[in-house]
């Protein structure tokens, strides 16, 4: 077991690459048709997650933010071994779990769970709510009898703010907020220590989002849970997270406490993200940083700093175009992967 000062999760150089196929442009066709047909598709690699170093302390909530497609969800799934890492190490509660077999990993599944973005897609429409929540109890042989498991299901439904009679209903009979509460109850069923919350409120109505956020906070305080909170809503992240990691093109470009990140963002990308948050103050809106260009393809990231083609900093040093910046500790205690952060 971990001590209060020992991270519950540690990632060392974690990477996840996806092999894919890309088509050659037709104008590049060689004269020999048969040879051309053999060469029309070539292998390529999508570097969805690249060289991630991160430690999460017990009871902490770490936010993971960035634009869509930057690798946030892939990082969360790789961390839980729902997809296999390409490189690096995953240490959970002091144990290296990177290469554990499925049978060796199964007991640890109780300790680390996931709340998915789409509460409807994560539930089997043919199973009642009670059966869906009881399923992990059966898999992990929790509860001596079916009656014991049914009692546990009732307790979990009450804990997440649902009535016990919801156990007999089907997912389509519930609202989005109710289905997300069911997803949370299912994750809590096996009494985990660590939960990856993969955009748990993005599919919900704004009026329901605050209820789910408050529920997650109450459950954390009650059960001493640790969260990796993935979201694109920077206002929510500021409210619920102790530290925030900012991702861009598969890499963490800034890591800081929530207070430091929102007060004095150091990476130009973080500054642009925060400036895009709606503000009441007209002066804040006037100083908004507008990024130009599109996010580079992960199939062919630019040389040097991945952000340099869109970076608003003028007179960038040559290192920005040739050297990949590493996360380094700055004077204010934050970490940034940027040649000009200070």
* 258-307 per-position pLDDT tens digit: 999 999 999 999 999 998 877 656 665 667 777 888 888 888 889 999 99
Distance CA 11, CA 80 (A): 11
Domain membership flag for residue 308: yes
Distance CA 342, CA 337 (A): 11
pLDDT value at position 33? 47
Domain membership flag for residue 324: yes
Instruction: With residue 70 as reference, give the H or E element that holds it.
Output: none
How many domains does the chain fold into?
Answer: 1
Of the CA atoms within 13 Å of residue 230, those in its CB half-sphere come to 23
Domain membership flag for residue 322: yes
Domain membership flag for residue 328: yes
Reported as a single tens digit per residue, the pLDDT across 307-324 is 999 999 988 999 999 999
pLDDT value at position 147? 93
Domain membership flag for residue 55: no
Phi, psi of 153 (to 5 degrees): -60, -45
* Residues in the chain with pLDDT values less than 50: 1-3, 33-34, 36, 39
Domain that holds residue 279: 266-342
Distance CA 63, CA 73 (A): 12
Domain membership flag for residue 318: yes
Domain membership flag for residue 109: no
* 3-state SS, residue 14: strand
Domain membership flag for residue 326: yes
């Amino acid at each position: 077991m971990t001590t209060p000062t020992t991270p519950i999760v540690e990632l060392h150089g974690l990477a996840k690459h996806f092999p894919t196929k890309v088509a050659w442009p037709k104008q590049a066709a060689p004269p020999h048709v048969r040879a051309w047909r053999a060469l029309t598709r070539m292998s390529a690699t999508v570097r969805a997650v690249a060289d991630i170093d991160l430690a999460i302390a017990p009871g902490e909530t770490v936010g993971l933010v960035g634009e869509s497609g930057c690798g946030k969800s892939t990082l969360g799934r790789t961390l839980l071994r729902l997809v296999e890492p390409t490189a690096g190490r995953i240490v959970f509660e002091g144990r290296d779990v990177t290469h554990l077999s499925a049978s060796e990993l199964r007991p640890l599944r109780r300790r680390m769970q996931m709340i998915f973005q789409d509460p409807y897609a994560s539930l089997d429409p043919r199973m009642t709510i009670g059966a869906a929540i009881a399923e992990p109890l059966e898999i992990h042989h929790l509860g001596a009898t079916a009656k014991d498991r049914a009692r546990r299901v009732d307790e979990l439904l009450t804990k997440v703010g649902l009535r016990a009679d919801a156990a007999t209903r089907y997912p389509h009979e519930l609202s989005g907020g109710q289905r997300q509460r069911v997803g949370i109850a299912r994750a809590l069923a096996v009494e985990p220590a660590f939960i990856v919350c993969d955009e748990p409120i993005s599919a919900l109505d704004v009026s329901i989002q605050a209820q789910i956020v408050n529920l997650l906070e109450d459950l954390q305080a009650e059960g001493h849970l640790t969260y990796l909170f993935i979201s694109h809503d920077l206002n929510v992240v500021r409210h619920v997270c102790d530290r925030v990691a900012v991702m861009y093109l598969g890499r963490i470009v800034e890591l800081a406490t929530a207070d430091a990140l929102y007060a004095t963002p150091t990476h130009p990308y973080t500054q642009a993200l925060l400036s895009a948050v709606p503000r009441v103050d007209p002066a804040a809106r006037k100083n908004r940083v507008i990024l130009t260009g599109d996010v580079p393809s992960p199939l062919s990231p630019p040389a040097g700093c991945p952000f340099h083609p869109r970076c608003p900093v003028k007179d960038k040093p040559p290192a920005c175009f040739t050297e990949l910046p590493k996360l380094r500790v700055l004077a204010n205690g934050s970490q940034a992967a940027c040649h000009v952060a200070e």
